[in-house]
Structures are given as C-alpha cells and as structure tokens.
Structure 1
Amino acid sequence: MHKALISGIGVVSAIGVGRAAFADALWQGRSNFGVMRRPGRQSAESAFLGAEIAALPELRNGRGQPYRKLSLSTHAALATADEAWTDAGLAALDPQRIGLVLGGSNLQQRAALLALDPVREQPWYTPPHYAASYCDSDIAAWCAEHLGVQGPVWTAGAASASGLLAVVEAARAVVSGELDACIAVGGLSDLSHLECQAFRSLGAMGSAQYADQPQRACRPFDTARDGFIYGEACAALVVESVDSARRRGASAYMAINGWSAVSDASRQPHPSQQGEMRAVGQALAHAGWRAAEIDYVNPHGSGSPLGDETELAALRASGLGDAWINTTKSLAGHGLTAAGAVETVALALQMRAQRLHPCANLEQPIGGARWVPAQGSPARIGKALKLSMGFGGINIAMCFQHPSQFN
C-alpha cells in the first residue's frame, strides 16, 4: 500500500479566484452574498440570494489560443485543475500515471436551460455540441485534454458530498498503486432558477428573511439559520503518492491518513446522526487515530435547521467536542457538488498557515462547541477531520495530518 498526500490545490469562488485570493478572503472573513444576477438564475418573480464569481481567468489551449464559449462549470474546472497542476508541478510526471476524477453530477442545469429554451418549439435547431456537452464526463474530458492526462478519467456523484468523494476516489487510486497522482475536482454546480425554487420549496435553501442584508443570510450553526445560501465555487486537489512527491522534491500541504464513505440506506434528504457517527468512527479507525487527537474539524455546516443540529450532535457523541470548528460555507456559501473540495482546500490552507479562519454570522450558536472566534485564530493543527453529507443518506469523512508529523 502507498501513502498519499495533497501536493497541489486550485480554487475559484465568489470570495476569491485562485488560492492566494481565496486564502486572503478566508483570513479577512469576507463574503460576497447578494441577489444573484446570472441569466437563468431568477424567474420573473424570484430574488434568490447567493454568491457569484465575478470573473474567471482566461485560459489558452496548447496552440496558445484562448478558449471560447466555455460553459461556466467547464471554465471553472479548467481553471482550478490548471492551478492545482502547476502548483504541484505535475508536468514532471508520466501522464499515463496521472488520473483525474470529477466530483459531481447534473452540473450544468442552468447552461442546459439557456441552451434549450430557444429551441423548444423547433427542436431540430438544438446545437449539435449539446449531445456531448450535457454529459458531466465532458467537463472531465476538457480537463484531461487541457492538461494531457492519460491515466483514468472519470466522474463520481454524491450530491453535496461529491467534492469530498472525488478526493476519496483519488486517494484510493493512488494508495492502491494504480496511479502516481490523481487530480480531484469538485465541479461547479450551476443552478438555474428551477433548482433554486425546488430547494427553497423543500426547505433546504434559505428564505428571504435577510433580503435587505444578504451578508447576514448564510448562518451555519446559528439559531437564526433557515437553510443554505448557494455560492458558486470549484476546487481541485492533487492527490499524490508520498514516494512520487519525495522523488521529485515536491512539498505537501497535508497528508491523507484515512477516510470513510457510508450510506444510511435512505433516499431521503434528511440527515442521520448514526450515519454521520459511523463515517467519523470508520475514518478515525482507518487512520488509527483517537477522537481526542483531532485538533480541528471542518464540518459540512450547511445552515440547514435539522442538518446542523444533527451534525453537531454527531460530533459531540463521537468525542470531538474539544476540537476547533469553523464554517467555510459562512463565507463562501454552499457550493453543493463543489463544497467538499472547496472546504478541503480551505483546510489545507489553514493547516499550512497554522491559522483558522473566522466564522461569519455565528451570533447565537446552537450548541456547545469550540467555535473559532469572529476574528479567526492562530492554532496548532496537526490532525484534522473533514465531513461532507449529501442527499440520499451519503456520509463521508476524511482524516488529514500536517506533513511534518507524517511518517
């Protein structure tokens, strides 16, 4: 068995494009919520709150020509995968020993709505490229072509746990020895107004109670929370074998020590404390750690009234009540399929800096926990746990360790 670590990261979000800008926003506790303006995000009557990316970097193909007419999800995936590839220095590796997994499914709902609405009455004018571009695998293929990845390329969907599942899948491929490195991309979930309305009707997406103060709307673990607030985001992480990284002198953000992905055997959207506890317990067992050794937990923390209560209860019952906790979604919003990957990037940045970003809008916490204060905090982060949950009873936990402590 091979050991694995994170040797490169890339991220785009509404609070920062690129890892440096994203890190600065985390340390400053900045958010960027407001009424969403992208075409297709609002119906005639709606005013859904969220956080949208201002601009993505221009990318060029192998002939030096800029890419044209990329979908939002494709452009974000290319930008983050390119940044992570460069950060890790993967050009030095055999491309046949590099893989790529895209976390997410049904990523381009808004793009599909905009493409098909004009031809609903004349379907024979449907653009031919739609036959390939509606597939999530097309986004993964764009990344593979751009980077020259020649190992396995695939997609993995797990609702809002997709981003973290991609990291798990990449780790499995590297630890098994199949690959020297694998890029895990948490795909940008491009919602249309139809998905926003469905989430709102389900009670999952936050209401308009903070319509006149959108920066206060995203409130994970606060008593005034009433659902998630969407945030456009995408992230990529390079999972590489320790042997490969050491051979070429690559540095690491953190090591991967263990993981678990379990099901509640339910297709319902509600959470399960027992399922979350099983994921935590199995991940710790895989790492060979005790709960008391965990310094920091980056939770799912979506702002769901039931979900946050359940997660906090699961953490306490799992013996993690003394670990630091903050809420990346309170700043960046809920990226849905991208969330687990974006928050793992946030974890990596915090572990490298030995500094925890603040929680926003945590004015009246729902229960006892060691919350990171509003101004953030220096902290010793040797061992950390990341949690992600998804509709349909999906629970995922991963254990990460500071590279200086890794054998």
Structure 2
Amino acid sequence: MKRVVITGAGTINALGLSVPETLAAMREGKCGIGPLEFRDVERLAIRIGGQVRGFEAEGRYNRQQIALYDRFTQFTLAAAREAIEQSGLTFTDELAARAGVVLGTAGGGVSTWDDNYRAVYEEGKNRVHPFVVPKLMNNAAASHVSMEWNLRGPSFTVSTACASSNHAMAQAFAMVRSGMSPVMVTGGSESMLCFGGVKAWEGLRVMSRDACRPFSANRNGMVQGEGAGVFVFEDYDHARARGAEILCEVAGFAMTSDASDIVMPSKAGAARAMQGALADAGINREEVGYINAHGTGTAANDKTECAAVADVFGTHADQLMISSTKSMHGHVIGGTGAVELLACIMALRDGVIAPTIGYEEPDPECALDVVPNEARDARVDVALSNAFAFGGMNAVLALRRT
C-alpha cells in the first residue's frame, strides 16, 4: 500500500479566487455570504448565498470555451490550474497515461439547465444550442480537466449530493494508495446559484433567510454557496523523488450508508463513517485534534453530527476542536467537502483552526468546542473532514500532518 500526499491545491469560492485568499479569509473569520445577484432573484423567498464575486469568465476563457463550459466547469478548470501549477507536475508519457481525474458534483450544469428551460418554456424558443448536453452533463468538468492537462488514466465523476467531492477524493486516494495511479487530480465543484437552483432548495424548507449559524441554538437553516476545490493526490515516494512540496498526508477514508431516510441524518451512519476512517488510517481517536464538520446549520444535522462525534470519541470529544466553514462560504453542495478540505490543510500545515462564525447561543445538544467566531492557533497532527449527504450517503477523510 502506497502513502498518499497532497502536493497541490486550488479553489474558487465565495471567500476567494485562490487558496491564499481563501485561507486568509478563514483566518479572519470573514463572511462570504451576502445578497444574491441574478435574474429574477426578487421572486425568491431566499435571497442570500455564498456567491462567487469577481470571477470573469471572459478574461479566462475564449468564446468557444465559454460556449462549452457551464459555470461549475469554469470554476473547476480555474481551481485545477492552481492546484496543478502548485504541484509542479507535467503530464507526459507514462505519467500522463496513468494519471486521472475524479471529481464530485451534485447537479452539474444547473445554470445551463435553468437557462435552456427558460428559453424553451418561458420564451417559446424551439431550438437550443447544440452543445447544451455536453455543457450540462455531470462529467463535463472532469472531461475538460482531463483534456486540458493530458490526464489519460481513470477519469470519472461522482454524484452523491453533499458528499460528492468527499466520495470522489476517497476514490482518488484509493487509486493512488493501491498503485493504480501515481497521481490523481480530485475534488469537486458546484454552481446552483441561479433561479431554478435556489427555488428547488426553497421547497425543502431548510434554508435560512439571514445567515448560516452552525451549532448555535438560534440557527435557522443552511445557506447555499458555490465554487470548487481541486487537489493533486500523489504517491508519497513519487513526490519525494521529485522534491515536491507536501501539504499533508491523506491517511484513510470510509464511506457508509444510513439506509434509513432520504433526508433525515442518522447518528449511527455518521459514527460508522468516522470510526471507519480512523480504522482505515490506523489512527487512534485520541490523535485527532480537529474535525471539519458537515455542520450545515440545520437543527437536524448539527445535533446529529455532534451526537455522533460524542459517541465515536467518548471523553476525548471534549478535547476536540470542531468547526463548520459553511458559516463563511455557504454550503457548496457537491463541492463542499473539497472547499472544506482547505480548512483541514490549514489546521495541519499552519496550525490555524478555521472558526464557526455566526455563533450566538450555546446549544446543549451541540456541547462541543466549535471554535466560535474567531480562528485559533493550535497544533494539530490529525484532522477529519466529514460529509453527510441527503440519501444517507456518508464519506469521511482522515488527514495527517507531515
């Protein structure tokens, strides 16, 4: 079994258009959630979100590319470029033949769906652009990343709602660890912040109208975000041999299914995923210093997750730091685990714990150290990244400081 490390990271999200910008915002406890700006927003009951600002497709892609790239693909390609350039890798010859890309997304080209439904049903048009299908398909981002960087190995897309990118990164990790590929580009992206995307989520009645306050007693729902997080997972020996900078080690993962309810989370399913990740990594629970929580800000998720953490870690739960960066960048749905992995890297590499902002009132059912409102300096050797999705799909990654 190979050791697996991260040698490159890239992101686009509501906190920043790069990893340095995002980590600086997390350290400052900055809120990237604000009023939404798009067509017909006034028809929505929910008008806030973690919308990416200042991202201009025209300055990054030519006209032909924009015709092919939905916003979620645009985000992915920008994040992938940052990650691959940081890694210093060039994909040629045998490395190109074996390296691949596994990405997660829940909705794929939601903006493209929305625009074209409008064109046909609202505007009465009888034709759509011939590239609508390749633009909106869930695997579009992975396909374009593979084409741009000459990644000819295993490449595909995972779609498991809010756990999509954690599931994708778990698959990429398994491929590198097994020796199938020395390098995998992985992560996830989402861009659902359009009229139809937000209107659909409104129907669930789990959305906040004012803020995301995970673990706070007065929390009143989740807030959608958008963006991408992309990483280079690499065989440790391969990285060392070329003198690569190592951000942290991916030590293990686990995936479970609640097999119980399509929307209500299960304490047992979440606990089994965390226990499984620790077992897979060969890590004792006392070694874990930080958990990046799924932490959506809904009453059901937060108390269930805290109960699962208490069950898994016992008395050590009181020593853990657990925070939700969704309070800052919103819930990026299928891309959320990828964006949140950055907080784990920051904890392990820089010794800075991202806060849970918006925290106002203690909740007895969430009685853990949720790092309220202000970032904290602390040495962390092991971190977990949790993702618990609708449909009862759970995926947890374990990471170690190097």
TM-score (norm 1): 0.91
User: Residues 195 and 131 (structure 1 numbering): CA distance in 2 closer, same or farther, change over 3 Å?
Assistant: closer
Instruction: Please give the residue correspondences for 1:159-238 in structure 2 after superposition, counting only pairs within 5 Å.
Output: 159-206=161-208, 208=209, 210=210, 217-238=211-232
Q: Distance in 2 between matches of 1:252 and 1:221?
A: 33
Residues 55-76 of structure 1: per-residue CA shift (max 9 Å, x gap): 2264358xxx994343211110
Distance 1:122 1:375 in 2: 51
Letter in 2 for 1:156: V
Task: Tell me if the contact between 2:39 and 2:195 (Cα under 8 Å) persists in the aligned partners.
Answer: no
Provide the residue aligned with 1:68 in structure 2.
66
2: CA distance, partners of 1:143 / 1:123? 32
Structure 2 Cα separation of the partners of residues 56 and 181 of structure 1: 29
Q: Paired residue for 2:344?
A: 347
1:214 corresponds to:
none
Q: How far apart in 2 are the matches of 1:228 and 1:129?
A: 33
Q: What does 1:6-405 correspond to in 2, within 5 Å?
A: 6-39=6-39, 42=41, 44-56=43-55, 58-59=59-60, 67-69=65-67, 70-91=69-90, 94-120=95-121, 124-206=126-208, 208=209, 210=210, 217-319=211-313, 320-366=317-363, 367-403=366-402
List runs of 5+ in structure 2 lacking aligned partners: none
- C-alpha contact 2:193 2:226 (8 A) present in aligned 1: no
Q: Is the 8 A contact 2:166 2:187 kept in 1?
A: no
8 Å CA contact retained: 1:5, 1:254: yes
CA distance in 2, matches of 1:361, 1:337: 23
Alpha-carbon contact 1:35-1:47 (below 8 Å) kept? no
> Partner amino acid for 2:23?
A
**Counterpart Cα distance in 1 of 2:64 and 2:240:** 35
The alpha-carbon distance between structure 1 residues 348 and 298, as it changes in their structure 2 partners (threshold 3 A), is same
What code does the residue aligned with 2:273 have?
A: A
Indicate how the Cα distance of structure 1 residues 263 and 36 shifts in structure 2: closer, same or farther if over 3 A, else same: same
Q: CA deviation at 1:116?
A: 3.1
Read off the aligned partner of 1:347 and give its amino acid letter. C
Letter of the aligned partner of 2:336 in structure 1?
A
Give unpaired runs (5+ residues) of structure 1. 211-216
| Matched AA of 1:85 | I
1:55-110 CA-to-partner distances (Å, cap 9, x unmatched) read 2264358xxx9943432111101000111111111216621121101101322223
1:196-218 Cα distance to aligned partner (Å, 9 max, x none): 23323322222x3x3xxxxxx11
Q: Answer whether contact 2:162 2:334 (CA < 8 A) is retained.
A: yes
Say if 2:290 and 2:347, in contact at 8 Å, map to a contact too: no
Equivalent pair of 1:11/1:19 in contact (CA under 8 Å): yes
State the percentage of identical aligned residues: 29
Residue identity matched to 1:54 = R
**Would the alpha carbon gap of residues 47 and 295 (structure 1) be closer, same or farther in structure 2, given more than 3 Å must change?**
closer
Paired residues of 1:156 and 1:166 also in contact (CA < 8 A): yes
* Contact 1:36-1:49 within 8 A present in 2 as well: yes
Matches of 1:145 and 1:39 in 2, distance apart? 32
What's the secondary structure of 1:389's corresponding residue?
strand
Larger helix percent: 2
Aligned-residue offset at 1:337 = 0.6
C-alpha RMSD of the superposition: 1.9
Tell me which moved more, 162-171 or 102-111.
102-111
User: 1:339 Cα deviation (Å)?
Assistant: 0.5
Cα distance in structure 2, aligned partners of 1:100 and 1:392: 25
Match of 1:228, as an amino acid?
Answer: M
Q: CA deviation at 1:128?
A: 0.7
Q: Cα offset for 1:16?
A: 0.7
Contact 1:104 1:189 in 2 (8 A): no
Cα distance in structure 1, aligned partners of 2:87 and 2:20: 15
CA distance in 2, matches of 1:204, 1:189: 19
- Distance in 2 separating the partners of 1:402 and 1:45: 44
- Report Cα offsets for 1:142-175 as digits up to 9, x if no partner: 1111112111210011100111111101101111
Whether the 8 Å CA contact 1:34–1:49 is kept in 2: the answer is yes
Classify the secondary structure of the residue corresponding to 2:9: strand
Q: Matched residue of 1:231: which SS?
A: coil
